[in-house]
Amino acid sequence: MKYYLTTPIYYVNAAPHIGHAYTTIVADLIKRFKTMQGYRAVLTTGSDEHGVNVERAAARAGKAPAEFVAVIAREFEQQWRTLGLGIDRFMRTSDPRHHRKVAELFEACRRNGYVYKGEYRGQYCIHDNLYVSEAKPGDPCPECGRPTETVTEENYFFRLSAFEDRLLELYERQPDFILPETRRNEVISFVRQGLSDLSITRTNIKWGIPVPGEERHVFYVWFDALTTYVSAVDGEDLWPADLHLIGKEIVRFHAVYWPAFLMAAGWPLPKRIFAHGWLLFQEDKMSKSKGNIVRATPIQQVMGIDALRYFLLREIVFGQDGNFSYDALVGRYNADLANGLGNLTSRTLSMIQQYRGGRIPAPAGGVRPEIAQAAENTIRAAIAHFENFEFSRALEAIWSLLSSIDRFIVEEAPWKLARSSEPGAAERLDSALYTAAEALRVAAILLWPVIPASAERIWDQLGMEGPLEQVRLGELAWGQLPAGQAVKTPGALFPRIEPPQAIERMRELEAQETARQAALFAPKPSTAAAPATERISIEEFARIDMRVGEVRFAERVKGSDKLLHLKVDIGEPQPRTIVAGIAEAYAPESLIGRKVVIVANLQPRKLRGIESNGMIVAATPEGGKPVLVGFLEDVPAGARLS
């Protein structure tokens, strides 16, 4: 019985950060959970290494593309080893085995009549790897708002338009094909707007997988990368995938393009796609260009990987955006792990050592029925929540049981029962100690997918035999702890952490890691100035009306992860409505009251149904996110730039 799951095939434009770790930690949790259900669980991840962005990034770094991507791919592989994640397959898209599978998919689609050769003339967004057929030269990309480039090239096209009805029928027939429900609704809305045929090869770049027999064509990055899920397990009885775990920004490619490619080839479809939210840092999505990256390794070095795992899985409702901060991380660790699970483990084992010679007593007087029932309820609830990807709710249920055991110990006061000569005191002591130890056994089993190293230490200190991964959740029940079993001297499971010192140390290590990676990916110094663009006259420049504006209103554009809907005061009777592709770089609330520069005399254009009457001026570093133009001094709204 197999269970095959995948993370995204991570794009090698930067080394891994905590956002990558979040998805991969969740995948590791699910793999462990499925293993405890008796499945042969296999986890694939990998590196997406082709495309024009990589080609340009390599050139800036003064490296050949193959050398450039090899460095970053090693960073990802090393990161997953350092974090102790159970990766079974790591497939690089530069691997020849992958190349063969991509060619096989292409030939199957062409043989079945879903691929044809044509010519594309028009606008292309390099940031989203997206053709914008309705755009004119200089128009912004409808996804990110950044300028498109004009291209003319021969391509192979995929008949995506032929799959609109079949995709909608798939979503209707299998409601859980796309999760959560919000992402499913977004995808259905997108498909119902109509699908256009998709270019799946390029001739204007060289860094990619060549089309067999027509090597001047290379495959489109998404046709290439998505196939990794199959190529990673080619020749094994694992496809189709039971689960694709992805971030919400790439749901369209996985839930529209990918099943259409597979349908066209006659290959089996994946069973489920789950698109989770973003990990936010101070209300902004983590971004290399914004400099608000947090990495997992410094946290691991200071607090241990289980602390990070627990925080991400307890603090964030999976599927929604979640906030990360060092303060919240340390606070959750001290409250739940150090003062909660760690303290309960230490107290219980110490009392068994002190009062019963280090052996778990038999509960001669029985266990309180309400506690046994609560434990059985917790087991059922936690397993159901894990099954439904409700990780935070599973942990809430487990900690509710642990809290009830803490209260039970306070009520029973074993330290008093040990000194008491009253009838029944010894039996009550045995029952109290057994109850606490059995609760720890149950918790260790349920928590192994979440905090495996810590769960294994609890398991070992209880004197349990055999690895936790061999425990089967279907057989888990209250009352299975063997009486008379010797426990071990408890160690410090979760030493309490002092927030100021720990946070300062993590930031120091983060700065060191930033410096290391900066040196690793340092661009090659340029030996010549960049060529100037074609010059214009002063009269032509004077036609461009640039004004100072003050942002009065900002919100995300529904259905887009990259666009913001703004109202900007430029000194006119009413604020201007502007749609800008800066949502990945700026939170809406951070823009209110901010002075910006807009081009005020552009023709209006509609983006996602909103008429935009101007363009925000921003600098866009190569491969990075936009940075708004601003002012050091106070300038009134409406002032003209000249």
Is it the case that residue 526 has pLDDT exceeding 90?
no
- Residue 99 and residue 244 in one domain: yes
* pLDDT of amino acid 619: 83
For residue 275, the Cα-to-chain-centroid distance in whole angstroms is 9
The per-residue pLDDT for range 292-317, each reduced to its tens digit, is 578 999 999 999 999 999 999 999 99
* pLDDT of amino acid 282: 58
Structural domains of the chain, count: 3
- Residue 151 and residue 252 in one domain: yes
* Domain at 441, CATH number: 1.10.730.10
Between 515 and 6, residue with greater pLDDT: 6
* pLDDT of amino acid 525: 58
- Residue 70 and residue 164 in one domain: yes
Least confident of 366-380, 515-529, 538-552: 515-529
- Kindly report the three-state secondary structure assignment for every residue of 398-464: HHHHHHHHHHHHHHHCHHHHCCCCCCCHHHHHHHHHHHHHHHHHHHHHHHCCCCHHHHHHHHHHCCC
* pLDDT of amino acid 527: 47
Average pLDDT over residues 563-583: 91
* Domain at 549, CATH number: 2.40.50.140
Between 262 and 603, residue with greater pLDDT: 262
Contact indicator for 436, 344 with CB cutoff of 8 Å? yes
The per-residue pLDDT for range 130-144, each reduced to its tens digit, is 777 677 887 888 777
Is it the case that residue 559 has pLDDT exceeding 50?
yes
The per-residue pLDDT for range 43-81, each reduced to its tens digit, is 999 999 998 888 878 887 888 999 999 999 999 999 999
CA dist 274 and 266 (Å) reads 23
CA dist 377 and 343 (Å) reads 23
- Residue 445 and residue 555 in one domain: no
* pLDDT of amino acid 632: 75
Between 448 and 612, residue with greater pLDDT: 448
- The model's pTM: 0.80
The per-residue pLDDT for range 227-255, each reduced to its tens digit, is 999 999 999 999 999 999 999 999 999 99
- Residue 67 and residue 194 in one domain: yes
Among 111-120, 121-130, 161-170, 217-226, top mean pLDDT goes to 161-170
* pLDDT of amino acid 624: 64
Average pLDDT over residues 469-493: 94
Is it the case that residue 550 has pLDDT exceeding 50?
yes
Looking at the chain, the whole-number percentage of residues with pLDDT higher than 70 is 95
Least confident of 170-174, 361-365, 390-394, 506-510: 361-365
Beta strand 115-125 with 149-158 is antiparallel
In a domain, 307, yes or no: no
In a domain, 269, yes or no: yes
- Name the nearest CA neighbour of 247 among 44, 564, 21: 21
In sequence order, what E strands does 290-366 have?
Answer: 322-324
Coil, strand or helix at 241: coil
How many helices (H) and strands (E) the chain has is answered by 22, 25
- Residue 271 and residue 332 in one domain: no
- Residue 271 and residue 404 in one domain: no
In a domain, 502, yes or no: no
In a domain, 299, yes or no: no
Task: Give the confidence band of 523 by pLDDT, cuts at 50, 70, 90.
Answer: low
Is it the case that residue 196 has pLDDT exceeding 50?
yes
Among 12-16, 110-114, 525-529, top mean pLDDT goes to 110-114
237, 260, 276: which is the final residue of a domain? 276
* Domain at 181, CATH number: 3.40.50.620
* Residue partners of 81: CB distance under 8 A and separation at least 6: none
* pLDDT of amino acid 524: 58
Q: Check the CA dihedral 183-189-193-195 and report its sign.
A: positive
- Residue 234 and residue 333 in one domain: no
In a domain, 304, yes or no: no
Least confident of 16-20, 188-192, 448-452, 524-528: 524-528
Least confident of 148-157, 326-335, 384-393: 148-157
Between 126 and 497, residue with greater pLDDT: 497
Average pLDDT over residues 326-350: 97
- Name the nearest CA neighbour of 3 among 239, 225, 235, 231: 239
The per-residue pLDDT for range 366-380, each reduced to its tens digit, is 889 999 999 999 999
450, 475, 500: which is the final residue of a domain? 475
- Residue 122 and residue 251 in one domain: yes
For residue 308, the Cα-to-chain-centroid distance in whole angstroms is 14
- Residue 446 and residue 590 in one domain: no
- Residue 65 and residue 185 in one domain: yes
In a domain, 524, yes or no: no
Find tokens 């995709």 and name the residue: 167
Range of the domain at 122: 2-276
* pLDDT of amino acid 370: 94
The per-residue pLDDT for range 261-289, each reduced to its tens digit, is 999 999 999 999 999 999 887 545 544 44
- Residue 552 and residue 427 in one domain: no
Task: Give the confidence band of 147 by pLDDT, cuts at 50, 70, 90.
Answer: confident
242, 276, 310: which is the final residue of a domain? 276
In a domain, 388, yes or no: yes
* pLDDT of amino acid 433: 97
Is it the case that residue 622 has pLDDT exceeding 70?
no
CA dist 496 and 592 (Å) reads 40
Task: Give the confidence band of 532 by pLDDT, cuts at 50, 70, 90.
Answer: low
Average pLDDT over residues 617-623: 73
Find tokens 């010679």 and name the residue: 357
In sequence order, what E strands does 79-200 have?
Answer: 89-92, 115-125, 130-132, 149-158, 178-179, 198-199
In a domain, 528, yes or no: no
Q: Check the CA dihedral 570-574-575-577 and report its sign.
A: negative
Least confident of 163-172, 195-204, 466-475: 195-204
Q: Check the CA dihedral 365-366-370-372 and report its sign.
A: positive
Is it the case that residue 290 has pLDDT exceeding 50?
no
Average pLDDT, the chain: 91
